[in-house]
Amino acid sequence: MYSSTFGTTYTVYYQNDWCDPRTNANTNMSNFRSRMDDIATASWGHSGSELAASDFLSNESSYADAVDLVYVIAHGTSTTKRLTMWAEDTYLALQDMSLGNGNLEWFTANACSIMSGNTGTDSPWIRFESSFNGGLHAAAGGYYVMNVIDEDFWDDGELFAQYLDGGYTVKSAWMTATYNADPYNSTAIVFTGADSSDCDSRRDTDHFHGQGTVVSDLTNPGYWCRNYWAQ
């Protein structure tokens, strides 16, 4: 058993087919979990029809905020930047999450568009503000379309875990894995800092536990910085 922990949740088929199925999610998640088992203990994992907002809201102290890293496979919306839940017409508004004030350091989601936008209410900072203020190190997801969940690609999860285990920073592991899985993926990762230079430093040095430097939790940060790749 490792002291570091991770949790996963995803959906393949949606209630009454209200969203397109994620037909490769089983393989993607299984490979991620198998590879992460080399460096961390799986604390919880939901599959199939179990993707629910309660994992991130009412039950977060038992699920999302009780582990070091969360990996999600879901749809993301391009306008309101929400995650689709299994239940018909049910979404998770990312700004409603308050992660990081428990244990979570890294929130990662194989979902389109949730990390796009730049200013005002249309920015990752606003979407994850409560979580960043609680001490979340980073949030990662699709900048625009993540083809890996729409086409016959399945290995970005395994590559992400492999690179974390290989000593990559969390930023480099995420960006390299999603690109190598499919260069047409448009993905991003956001970190925070006290100011611009501190944000850059935290982004470029933060590793998963046991794989290198892990930056400290930073509550109420004053700055956010993003790396993204978009075709």
What is the DSSP track for 65-103? Answer: GGSSEEEEE--B-SSS-EEEPSSTT-EEEGGG---SSSS
The CA distance from 25 to 154, in Å, is: 7
Assigned token pair, 22: 């994620």
- Do residues 86 and 52 touch, judged by C-beta distance below 8 A? yes
The reported pLDDT for the residue numbered 197 is: 97
The CA distance from 187 to 112, in Å, is: 8
CB-neighbour burial class of residue 38 (10 A; exposed 0-12, middle 13-18, buried 19+): exposed
The reported pLDDT for the residue numbered 115 is: 92
- Listed residue (74, 78, 92) closest to 25, CA to CA: 74
pTM for this structure?
0.94
The reported pLDDT for the residue numbered 147 is: 67
The reported pLDDT for the residue numbered 152 is: 52
Q: What does each of the 231 residues of the chain score in pLDDT, given as a tens digit?
A: 579 999 999 988 899 999 888 878 888 898 999 999 999 999 988 766 678 888 888 778 888 999 999 999 999 987 778 998 888 899 999 989 989 888 999 999 999 999 988 876 788 888 999 999 999 999 999 998 886 544 455 588 999 999 999 999 999 999 999 998 888 889 999 999 999 999 999 999 999 999 999 999 999 998 999 998 765
The CA distance from 209 to 190, in Å, is: 19
Q: What angle do CA 61, 64, 66 make, to 5 degrees?
A: 50
The CATH architecture annotation of domain 5-229 reads 3-Layer(aba) Sandwich (3.40)
